[in-house]
Structure 1
Amino acid sequence: MCYQEGDKKLNSELQRIISWAIDNEIPDLVSTNEGYWSGLPRDYDKLRSLDSLRIKCENLTCLPPEIGCLTSLKELHVFSKSLASLPSEIGQLKQLDTLCLIGGELTSLPDELCQLTNLKKLELSGNRFAEIPNQIFKLKGLAELRVAGCGLRHIPEEIGQLKNLIWLDLRNNKLTEIPEVIFELSGLNFLLLGSNRLTSLSTSVGELESLMWLDLIKNNLKTLPSEIHRLQNLVTLSLKGNRFTCLPEGVFVLPNLDDKTREQLETL
């Protein structure tokens, strides 16, 4: 009896999700030219087993609380210019390893986000955060964080708690400095700082010996620290759009730079 009641409750929640999708003109599940599935299925069984959900809807302002019943989800991608809030039920998606909420109006995140302990990738680019939400720093397993184009002016020291970060994207913000704790994230392979307002780069950048891509385009840099020669694994170094008057000799002899980077260095 309890099982039947639970199943009935779940079906009721699934029906509300379907109704929400129809009301917001979100299509049924379709295969895209890019090779992934987009939309929301209208079938209960498919919804129960759904492990990846991609929604594109410019006028979508929120997700329904019933999203929390899609407990098989491992990936959730929402592309909306109007998304302004997340329901607390997002914390019920325990298997989620990828969450992408791109180009919306988000200014905060629910505390329940901290319950997503399996999350590896979080993309919040193009939203309206005054600062990186504190909930993110409790996601200790996070490997990829993208907060480009959010208008950020400051990165808190707490970002140093994300010891497993491999990819950090802080492009297109309003940053004038980068906290030293970022240079203690020794596992970083990708550090993207382009299109900010940086006037200098810490000598501690040399500590990031695993770094493969360093993006510094369109800042206000005049030189680079000599310690950059320690980045022996660096493949791509993006420097255009700065005010360089000189560069350290060590940057020209980095052994693994790709051809595009070497050509760029010759023009600076």
Structure 2
Amino acid sequence: MGNASSTKAHLETAHKTGTLSLANSGLTKLPDGMEKLQNNLRTLDVSGNKLGKPDSVPGWVGKLQMLKTLVMVGCELTEIPEGVYSLGKLETLNVSSNAIKTLSARICQLKNLRTLNITSNNIETLPDSISQCKHLEALESSNNRLQSLPSSIGNLNIVELNANRNRLSDIPTELKDCTRLKTLRLEENCLTLSDNVRVVLAQSQVSLILLDGNLFTQKELDGTKEYESYMERFTATKKKIF
């Protein structure tokens, strides 16, 4: 369970600050004293602990209703603990570098989620319900096993999507409907210059699309009229910045 006296001291401090870091504390289960922080805890970091067992993250974690930031990096998780989906005010969820295989459809319950980081897991699909996370602005999903993206993703108000180093063979044309999407990272996948890719290049609002390491050369990409349309947006955006 880690150093009990040190954990107790951190819990006492968290009552005053609303921030609790128990990263790399040798924990195999979240300490019960945390439940008493449900009215004031806003930030929790438990990265680097061994929390992969079913009882490591008790259901009462869902009672931390003031929590806005939850960081569980490298915790040996095979799934996101069920209680997490009850954190209605959660804005940032980082569960990168775990062994998560699926993302539950219950992700839609996190209505205030703005940043979701699932980088470096074993996730093969994203649930359609993710489209109900209307405040989601950044989705970090690189280094997974994604073979496709749901068409419902077009309903998101997302600004940045990182799907580098997955197994994507195509992308949904609905990405063009993400009117706030500015950065789309698709490097090192299995994409071809499909009709869908061409539609997103030509018709989306994305001003930065990264496509290196797919099943076509830069020369082949340069030769398409859709890429020319994209480059016009890219250049226009660059001029605004400088």
Return the TM-score normalized by structure 1. Answer: 0.74
Task: Give the counterpart of 1:219 among 189, 193, 201.
Answer: 189
- Equivalent residue for 1:74? 42
Whole-angstrom CA distance in 2 between matches of 1:41 and 1:64? 9
Partner of 1:49: helix, strand, or coil? helix
Tell me how far apart the structure 2 counterparts of residues 172 and 250 of structure 1 sit (CA, whole Å).
Answer: 29
Q: Which residue of 2 aligns with 1:161?
A: 132
Q: Which has the larger radius of gyration?
A: 1
- Tell me how far apart the structure 1 counterparts of residues 132 and 141 of structure 2 sit (CA, whole Å): 17
Shift of 1:82: 2.3
Which of 170, 173, 185 is equivalent to 1:200?
170
Which residue of structure 2 aligns with residue 188 of structure 1? 158
User: What is the percentage of aligned positions where both structures have the same residue?
Assistant: 28
**Does the 8 Å contact 1:202/1:225 carry over to 2?**
no
In 2 relative to 1, CA 59–106 (structure 1 residues): closer, same or farther, beyond 3 Å? same
Does structure 1 conserve the Cα–Cα contact (< 8 Å) formed by 2:23 and 2:49?
no
Question: CA separation of 1:44/1:221 partners in 2, compared to 1, >3 Å: closer, same or farther?
Answer: closer
- Per-residue CA deviation, residues 187-225 of structure 1 (Å, 9 max, x unaligned), is 110111110011222222211121121111111122232
Q: What is the alpha-carbon distance in structure 2 between the residues aligned to residue 64 and residue 41 of structure 1? A: 9
Instruction: Supply the distance in 2 between the matched residues of 1:43 and 1:253 (Cα, whole angstroms).
Output: 53
TM-score (norm 2): 0.82
Q: Cα gap change, 1:46/1:176 in structure 2, threshold over 3 Å: closer, same or farther?
A: closer
**Are 1:114 and 1:139, in contact at CA under 8 Å, matched by a contact in 2?**
yes
Return the match for 1:175 from 122, 143, 146.
146
Q: What runs of 5+ residues in structure 2 fail to find an aligned partner? A: none
Letter in 1 for 2:167: R
- Residue matched to 1:132: 103
Q: Describe the SS at the equivalent of 2:9.
A: coil
Equivalent residue number for residue 229 of structure 1: 202
> In the TM superposition, what is the alpha-carbon distance from 1:176 to its structure 2 partner?
1.2
State the partner residue of 1:50.
17
Given candidates 224, 232, 242, the residue that maps to 1:253 is 232
- Whether the 8 Å CA contact 2:105–2:127 is kept in 1: the answer is no
Larger relative CO (CA 8 A, sep 6+): 1 or 2? Answer: 2
Q: CA RMSD in A?
A: 2.5
Please give the residue correspondences for 1:109-124 in structure 2 after superposition, counting only pairs within 5 Å: 109-124=80-95
